[in-house]
Amino acid sequence: MRLEKLVKLLTIITILLLMLPPAGARGVEKPAPHDEFLYEYFSHTLEKFAYSLKYAYEGNDYGLTLAENTHNDLLRIMRESRIYREKRIKARVFDILPPFYNFSVDLITLDKLLFKFQEDNGSIALATGIVNTIERMKIYLGEIKAIELYNETKILRFDTSRVERYLNEINETAEKTLNSQSKNHELTLYTTNRNPIVNQSVTFFGTAPSNGSVRIVIREESGLERGIVVPVERHFFTMQYRFTRPGEYLVRAVQGNLSTEWMKIDVGKIPTYFLVLSPTSAIVNTTLMVRVSLVDYYSNPLPGREVTVNGTVFITDTNGTVTFDLWSPKEASFNLALEFKGDEFHEGITKVVTLEFTRIPTAITITGPGTVEEGKAFEIKGSITPAINSTVEIYVNDRPYAVVNSTNGIFSLNITHETAETLKVYAVFNGTELYLPSKSNVLLVSVVPSESNPLRYVAVLLIVISLVAYTQRDRLGRRAERQEGTVEKEETGGEEAVWIEIPNDVGEAYSLIRDALFREMGVPKNLTPREVLERLKGWKGHKDLKTVTLIHEKVVYGGEKPGKEEIQAFKRAAEAVIKALGGTA
């Protein structure tokens, strides 16, 4: 019977092997897109939009605060994306960001109009401004609904229903005001922003007693006035305008002999920002080329401007960029003080950038027998990555035992122990000026008394066969679980480490890490990668998380294809982050 079962098993294995395609004929599979991180982040942005509308509608000023914070988050992503646009890299985030950003701009306007509307007990001019703003916002919302993201072959679409519900409620309230007001309209003038910056779009709107037109008069500080004729329909008028110079302006509306009071508009200079376009760390004894770009609020580069770096003056090139080299023979950290003093149209800005020169990380692995007889020599084999020529110290039971030489990253040592006990063996690399120190895995070697009883060897052989069979079955089971992307966590008298396999896909791997950070440290998933780094400063896994984040941004946001060395560096850093969280990879 056993022979028949064995024959059947071999037959099934043969059939399965024949079903597999020949290795040489296998084509290269097209990578499946993984947009889960982008989908999760921008879905959370929609939630912020909805809560902002809800709070503003209820008269809670936190709605405006939330709208402004969300707008600033999107603006920061827009500025950082310029790094990839400059390299002519097409990233998926470029397609998603514009409608979200445009919606956030109008969301701030709508919240301000709504608060003013509530304070003025339902002004018809403000009600009309609310309705018109919502019409624009619904256009952007339609663009958001049309976006398609992918989780491999599954299509992911954004749910805008909550945002639409609150927009409709606010719109209905404004429409009721418009329909209930009397036909006697006064000449009024409002604006969406009394403190714009140069070239920022501002909307002036109001009501007029007669249809036809009104004249919007804009007076400069010099006393020069400019009149703009604006049509009036249904006793309402609106005009968008951009101030091209900073300063104080007066604005009023005129119709016939009627005129509104002068409205003061204070136009500020355009804010500026420094963007670091190059890496901020390098290996010791190598040159770090630093590239910093000066841009304005609208992400436009500012060429031909004076920028000082630690007191040294540079002139930005046609791309608004300054470039210089740094070098260090040892591990060090530098602070660079960047300053732009501003000009006629732009505000000044200062920023401190920290640059680091670090040693190369290393890793050691050792292998050896699990059981040996007392008095008999056994060999410990090891490797150090990168493959360097150096000295490695072997420890036995936490005491220095021997120093061996590593040749091309390979070393070995023969050990003889005369006493029956369990040995704790590990290797230590103390580091050099170029390479960081590291410690290997711990190898437990059981030294047992020497015996010649044949029955003992038979028993050991049977145990080994059983263990091999069990291990093989266990490995097959774990392999299936890994392919399904599961994470096992068993409890046997206490909580053991979580095992996580690092996928080859950078986006998928980063999502797993963010899940682990949320689960183990409570790091919110709605934070951007850079915000996570900022929050976890000082954490023991911060350095490896920084490596993971930079490569993730380059691949997912930048759309660049990672090289073999980058993939290896990413996986090493990802494994280190998981271990720092108390898991294994």
pLDDT tens per residue across span 57-83: 998 989 999 999 999 898 888 777 666
Contact partners, residue 123, CB within 8 Å, separation at least 6: 116, 117, 177, 188, 190
Phi then psi dihedrals of residue 394, to 5 deg = -95, 130
Higher pLDDT, 487 or 355: 355
**Residues 64/56, Cβ–Cβ less than 8 Å:** yes
pLDDT at 465 over 90: no
> What span, in angstroms and rounded, lies between the C-alpha atoms of 349 and 343?
11
Q: Give the DSSP letter of residue 320.
A: S
Instruction: Report the half-sphere exposure of 504 (CA within 13 A, side-chain side).
Output: 7
**Residues 307/294, Cβ–Cβ less than 8 Å:** yes
CATH number for the 272-358 domain, one of 3.40.50.1820, 3.20.20.80, 1.25.40.10, 2.60.40.10?
2.60.40.10
Q: Could you tell me which CATH class the domain 363-448 is placed in?
A: mainly beta
User: Residue 365: left if φ>0, alpha if ψ -120 to 50, beta else—which one?
Assistant: beta
pLDDT score for 82 = 64
> What span, in angstroms and rounded, lies between the C-alpha atoms of 83 and 531?
18
Rounded to a whole number of angstroms, the CA Rg of the chain reads: 34
Measured N-to-C along each axis, helices 36-57 and 161-180 cross at an angle, to the nearest 10 degrees, of 30
- Strands of 268-320 (E only): list them: 272-276, 281-283, 287-296, 306-309, 312-315
Residue 77: CB atoms within 10 Å: 19
Instruction: Report the half-sphere exposure of 566 (CA within 13 A, side-chain side).
Output: 14
Strand partners, 445: 423
pLDDT at 9 over 60: no
> What span, in angstroms and rounded, lies between the C-alpha atoms of 68 and 80?
18
pLDDT per position as a tens digit, 326-345: 999 889 998 999 999 999 99
pLDDT score for 181 = 60
pLDDT at 454 over 60: no
Q: What is the mean pLDDT of the chain?
A: 84
What predicted TM-score, i.e. pTM, was given to this entire model?
A: 0.57
> What span, in angstroms and rounded, lies between the C-alpha atoms of 306 and 297?
18
CATH number for the 184-268 domain, one of 3.40.50.300, 2.60.40.10, 2.60.40.1930, 3.40.50.620?
2.60.40.1930
The per-residue DSSP string of 29-47 comes to PPPPPB-HHHHHHHHHHHH
Strand partners, 212: 232
